[in-house]
A and B are shown apart, each in its own frame.
Chain A
């Protein structure tokens, strides 16, 4: 028989908003975001660290939200697809995804956008093959990936053309 689990108080900056909650130690980050913060944009596709639908950023680092515990992000900064103040690159990725129809059902899209954002920021010279490898941690069952690669390459090209020069990269 299980007794009441211990509880931990955590403080997390989620999409720029400080949030304080009491959670069980076993609660993973996506359940925390979805259940405790009401942010439904990060999705659970496998809950064992493979599909990438739950990808979010912690202090600018891309993580699998289902493999990180909420208590591990105490004192940290979490960024999800819902962020109300998107970086110019995330905004450009969103627009490119729509323009290229780089999503169908949209279930993988939150995680895919976060993975694409990391790729655009950290690998500005990525070519088409590198983009394919870079998003290979995120499954999409609908698109066949071609349009996603197109969209990410569009944003990389815009970045190389100086579209984001006025703004420093967020995740140094």
Chain B
């Protein structure tokens, strides 16, 4: 629980909010719990506040060259003659490479997954071959000694092209008269899915209230403050340029180093022993840096062609047209309810545009698929029908970005629940309490077929009511409405998919690990080093692994060091995505730490000449007698003997003081979390501006390892969700060019317009692991757009106006009010 919210209420006579009870502490995981569950500051942050991070662009290698890309200027074109004669003569220029040059080294890819039945895409190349399919697709690589020289030279590259008709509008993408982007695929349909529980038409027929609307979600993008970047360093083998025996090192701002290692192997015909991927500091990721981009492969290819390290750093303008975009959904949706408020059925029809290719290797079918899986997710209705169409278009490819389908599904679900509750005259909080799957009904299966291990919607709703002083807000809203001030309260109940099993990617044939590993090593001094396959992009992954290790082994926190982000060093694993770092990677760390403790105690028993380790405990760096607590052997002494005086140990005793454990979640396809968000807004009905007055989140991510870090994940994710709800949109003109592709034109949330965000926790641990942690990274983004949109519509309700298109701009609000 963080400090009470500081937003001043206007009306002094309101009752103060009731006290919110702290959740009952969970039983401890270890003998001497001191760190799990504690808000320790991150030690890694100290380096960053001194300006001593090491981001990819900070790394300089000897003989390093710099690549810049000429990208398609138009949405769709046939590439003509490329004249680089002037470029090649420019100062510092080392090479100019086109699609066919790079294709000789790097195979094309087709991003599909077997479990997304019927998904199609076309071969995509590292650099465009004969056609370019979106404004921003890389076409030509220019490499020079310095970045400036490469940029100067790029100005003199002459590329001819013939513009082709562009497919932009998802609504007409499948029409017979619309050009087909990939003729070999026979149409612009990438993927479709239909789900029907049966009984939907009957439910709507017998309903007392039906509410329907069409929801639109604009495209937005991640805007990691550090752009995508990498350095490819190729050391040829016996023959220059030959794959045999060569060594590739890629310094990459990436979330999944082993995935990239595997992709470099497959596309370039290498084996794992030849490829090392290093991810040091990553300046924001959010899913943007979990995909394999064409220029990732192109940069490796030009490094191979030149035999020199090559650095690529996207500038912000090319980030906007080459980082994945996300969302762009149009969903026709309706809900049926009985007069008593029981929800009977949901139905949705989702149309989403994903650009010209499904993105490698996770595919672009996942977001729509998740919308189908998650819509209606918190509720206990049994009837549900969904249709999904995923279509190709000539815009930047879209793929998984923080929340992946959750913000869409949650906004649609919660808007429908509010809409039908309003028709029935039921308070929205009461409507949710009545309809959520009850806390004592788990495990349960949702109407879409999703398996829910254990959730706490009722507890979270009750806590949210207290946390935001719901009754007080309603009273304030009523008083202010009488004065012509329009405030609204929006509630979002949400589920979030975390701790995925192999059901997410592995079963579909993607070589993306669902397990993660941790190696824990006792150093001779008694310090402990942890090597984990899950890396750090700022979430605090390394910090929580240190906390888990300190408790599991029984050492001080400052004696633990965590190393991540190097495929040469760490165990194999999936990395950071789908909110899996704490739940999957953390469990591996816990298991490895407990195993190391056991081996330390076995070694101590030998040194202490005891029959076995029973009766010994490891506490705060010292082996003690479990009964008396008497200190028997400091770890430094144990380490000295184990590593340097093996001669004093009995024959056959080899201390194993480095342990590796892996963990994959196998009990459920995913471990779902849940939470509730409340947004309180004021709408200026003359200008359409929305002021965010307060935001509250109650979150159940199972066992909380570091409350401060979880709160910060929730807050940051909420603000990204608010960005999509109110500000962020990639706007295209009629010819398919992005018209707001700069940070000056594309709006991201700033401090001055964001509210304080109060976070509280309910802890319902998953039983699928000993740690009991679920993910926390995406729930904020999942719920915020729903809460904010519902709050705005609650404010507009007395004016009989409603918005259903995000981002909810002032113009859209004024249009809803009939003022423009």
**Nearest-Cβ distance from residue A158 to partner chain B, whole angstroms:** 16
A50 CA to B319 CA, complexed, in Å:
15
Interface segment out of the listed B109-117, B174-182, B649-657, B750-758: B750-758
Complex: chain B residue closest to A4, CB-CB: B91
Interface string of B125-144 (1 = CB under 8 A from A): 00000000000000000000
Q: Are B284 and A142 in contact (CB under 8 A)?
A: yes
Interface segment out of the listed A6-14, A36-44, A69-77, A162-170: A36-44
Complex: chain A residue closest to B780, CB-CB: A144
A39 CA to B749 CA, complexed, in Å:
29
**Nearest-Cβ distance from residue B689 to partner chain A, whole angstroms:** 16
Complex: chain A residue closest to B43, CB-CB: A98
State the majority secondary structure of interface residues on B: loop
Q: Are A105 and B538 in contact (CB under 8 A)?
A: yes
**Nearest-Cβ distance from residue A9 to partner chain B, whole angstroms:** 19
Q: Which of B268-325 contact A (CB under 8 A)?
A: 281-286, 315-316
Q: Which residues of B contact A128 (CB under 8 A)?
A: 6, 756
Is the C-beta of A51 less than 8 angstroms from some C-beta in chain B? yes
Most chain A beta carbons < 10 A, residue from B45, B152, B540: B45
Q: Which residues of B contact A135 (CB under 8 A)?
A: 751
**Contact A106:B283 (CB < 8 A) given known A44-B57, A141-B224:** yes
Q: Are A94 and B281 in contact (CB under 8 A)?
A: no
Q: Which residues of A contact B625 (CB under 8 A)?
A: none
Q: Are A109 and B715 in contact (CB under 8 A)?
A: no
Contact of A101 among B41, B50, B90, B281 (CB under 8 A): B41
**Contact A144:B53 (CB < 8 A) given known A1-B90, A48-B316, A106-B538:** no
**Nearest-Cβ distance from residue A127 to partner chain B, whole angstroms:** 10
Q: Which residues of A contact B742 (CB under 8 A)?
A: 46, 48, 50
Contact of A98 among B46, B148, B743 (CB under 8 A): B46
Q: Which residues of B contact A100 (CB under 8 A)?
A: 708
Q: Which of B725-753 contact A (CB under 8 A)?
A: 742-744, 748-753
Q: Which residues of A contact B285 (CB under 8 A)?
A: 105
Q: Are B49 and A98 in contact (CB under 8 A)?
A: yes
Q: Which of B769-785 contact A (CB under 8 A)?
A: 780
Q: Which of A16-60 contact B (CB under 8 A)?
A: 24, 34, 39-51, 53
Q: Are A47 and B225 in contact (CB under 8 A)?
A: no
Is the C-beta of A123 less than 8 angstroms from some C-beta in chain B? no
Q: Are A104 and B539 in contact (CB under 8 A)?
A: yes
A101 CA to B45 CA, complexed, in Å:
8
Contact of A50 among B148, B224, B743 (CB under 8 A): B743
A133 CA to B91 CA, complexed, in Å:
45
Q: Which residues of A contact B47 (CB under 8 A)?
A: 106
Is the C-beta of A2 less than 8 angstroms from some C-beta in chain B? yes
Contact of A51 among B41, B315, B743 (CB under 8 A): B743
Is the C-beta of B99 less than 8 angstroms from some C-beta in chain A? no
**Contact A82:B51 (CB < 8 A) given known A43-B225, A43-B226, A101-B42:** yes
Q: Are A144 and B48 in contact (CB under 8 A)?
A: no
Q: Are B49 and A107 in contact (CB under 8 A)?
A: no
**Nearest-Cβ distance from residue B403 to partner chain A, whole angstroms:** 14
Contact of B50 among A1, A81, A140 (CB under 8 A): A81
Interface segment out of the listed B469-477, B522-530, B716-724: B716-724
Contact of A113 among B49, B281, B749 (CB under 8 A): B49
Q: Are A41 and B283 in contact (CB under 8 A)?
A: no
Q: Which residues of A contact B756 (CB under 8 A)?
A: 128, 146, 149
Q: Are A41 and B51 in contact (CB under 8 A)?
A: yes
**Nearest-Cβ distance from residue A13 to partner chain B, whole angstroms:** 17
Complex: chain B residue closest to A143, CB-CB: B716
Q: Are B744 and A81 in contact (CB under 8 A)?
A: no
A129 CA to B715 CA, complexed, in Å:
18
Q: Which residues of B contact A103 (CB under 8 A)?
A: 45, 48-49, 538
Interface string of B28-60 (1 = CB under 8 A from A): 000000000000011001111111111101100
Q: Are B743 and A101 in contact (CB under 8 A)?
A: no
Complex: chain A residue closest to B713, CB-CB: A104
Most chain B beta carbons < 10 A, residue from A4, A100, A103: A103
Complex: chain B residue closest to A104, CB-CB: B538
A48 CA to B319 CA, complexed, in Å:
13
Contact of A105 among B52, B226, B316, B743 (CB under 8 A): B226
**Nearest-Cβ distance from residue B594 to partner chain A, whole angstroms:** 28
**Nearest-Cβ distance from residue B810 to partner chain A, whole angstroms:** 18
Q: Which residues of B contact A129 (CB under 8 A)?
A: 752
A89 CA to B4 CA, complexed, in Å:
27
Most chain A beta carbons < 10 A, residue from B86, B540, B743: B743
Q: Are B712 and A107 in contact (CB under 8 A)?
A: no
**Contact A39:B716 (CB < 8 A) given known A46-B743, A146-B756:** no
**Nearest-Cβ distance from residue A109 to partner chain B, whole angstroms:** 5
A42 CA to B742 CA, complexed, in Å:
20
State the majority secondary structure of interface residues on A: loop
Complex: chain B residue closest to A80, CB-CB: B51
Complex: chain A residue closest to B750, CB-CB: A136
Q: Which residues of B contact A156 (CB under 8 A)?
A: none
Q: Which residues of A contact B45 (CB under 8 A)?
A: 97-98, 101, 103, 106
Q: Are A105 and B537 in contact (CB under 8 A)?
A: yes
Interface string of B142-186 (1 = CB under 8 A from A): 000000100010001000000000000000000000000000000
Q: Which residues of B contact A139 (CB under 8 A)?
A: 223, 225, 743, 748, 750
Q: Are A136 and B712 in contact (CB under 8 A)?
A: no
Complex: chain B residue closest to A39, CB-CB: B51
**Nearest-Cβ distance from residue B547 to partner chain A, whole angstroms:** 14
Complex: chain B residue closest to A149, CB-CB: B751
Q: Which of B348-404 contact A (CB under 8 A)?
A: none
**Nearest-Cβ distance from residue A154 to partner chain B, whole angstroms:** 11
A120 CA to B718 CA, complexed, in Å:
27
Is the C-beta of A62 less than 8 angstroms from some C-beta in chain B? no
Is the C-beta of B642 less than 8 angstroms from some C-beta in chain A? no
Q: Which of B521-551 contact A (CB under 8 A)?
A: 537-540
Complex: chain B residue closest to A24, CB-CB: B148
Contact of A48 among B223, B540, B743 (CB under 8 A): B743
Q: Which residues of B contact A109 (CB under 8 A)?
A: 48-49, 51
**Contact A136:B752 (CB < 8 A) given known A43-B226, A44-B57, A104-B712:** yes
Is the C-beta of B89 less than 8 angstroms from some C-beta in chain A? yes
Q: Are A45 and B156 in contact (CB under 8 A)?
A: no
Is the C-beta of B709 less than 8 angstroms from some C-beta in chain A? yes
A98 CA to B224 CA, complexed, in Å:
21
A124 CA to B450 CA, complexed, in Å:
53
Q: Which residues of B contact A50 (CB under 8 A)?
A: 742-744
Contact of B281 among A45, A80, A105, A131 (CB under 8 A): A105
Interface string of B220-232 (1 = CB under 8 A from A): 0011111100000
Q: Which of B672-724 contact A (CB under 8 A)?
A: 708-709, 712, 715-720
Interface residues of B (CB under 8 A from A): 6, 41-42, 45-55, 57-58, 86, 89-91, 148, 152, 156, 222-227, 281-286, 315-316, 537-540, 708-709, 712, 715-720, 742-744, 748-754, 756-757, 780
Question: Can you report 28 A-B residue pairs in the complex whose CB atoms are below 8 A from each other?
Answer: A34-B57, A43-B283, A46-B743, A48-B316, A97-B45, A101-B42, A103-B49, A104-B537, A104-B716, A105-B225, A105-B285, A105-B537, A106-B538, A107-B226, A107-B283, A108-B225, A109-B48, A110-B51, A128-B6, A131-B751, A132-B752, A138-B751, A140-B225, A142-B284, A143-B712, A144-B720, A145-B754, A149-B751
Q: Which 4 A-B pairs have the closest CB atoms?
A: A41-B51, A106-B48, A104-B538, A107-B283
